[in-house]
Structure 1
Amino acid sequence: MTNTELTFMDNVGDLLVIMPSALNKLLGYRQLDSFSNEAAGVLIGERRDSHIVVHEISEPGEGDIRRRCYVDRRGSHHQVIVNEAFVRSSGRLQYLGEWHTHPEDQPSPSAIDLGTWRRHLVAQNQMVLLIIGRKEIWAAKKVTDDVVPLFRV
Structure 2
Amino acid sequence: MPGVVERLLSYRQLSPASLEAAGVLIGERRENHVVIHAISEPGPGDVRTRFTVVRKGPHHQAMINELYLKSGGTMNYLGEWHTHPERFPVPSNTDKSGWQKEIVFTEPMVLIIVGQSAMWCGKKVGRATKALQAY
TM over 0.5: yes
Percent of counterpart pairs with the same letter?
Answer: 50
Look up the match of 2:67: 85
Aligned Cα root-mean-square deviation (Å)? 0.9
Counterpart-to-counterpart distance in 2, 1:45 and 1:117 = 19
Matching of residue 123 in structure 1 with residue 119 in structure 2: no
Three-state SS of the structure 2 residue aligned to 1:113 is helix
The aligned residue for residue 30 of structure 1 is: 12
* Structure 1 residue ranges, 4+ long, deviating more than 3 angstroms after superposition: none
1:50-65 matches, within 5 Å, as 50-65=32-47
Decide which of 27, 37, 62 is 1:45's aligned counterpart. 27
Query: Gaps (5+ residues) in structure 1?
Result: 1-18
1:105 to 71, 81, 87: 87
- Scaled by the length of structure 1, the TM-score of the pair is 0.86
Q: Confirm whether residue 75 of structure 1 aligns to residue 57 of structure 2.
A: yes
Q: Any gaps of 5 or more consecutive residues in structure 2? A: none
| Paired residue secondary structure (1:151) | coil
Q: CA deviation at 1:114?
A: 0.1
Give the C-alpha shift of residue 146 in structure 1: 0.6
How many positions carry a matched residue from both structures? 135
Q: TM-score, normalised by structure 2?
A: 0.98
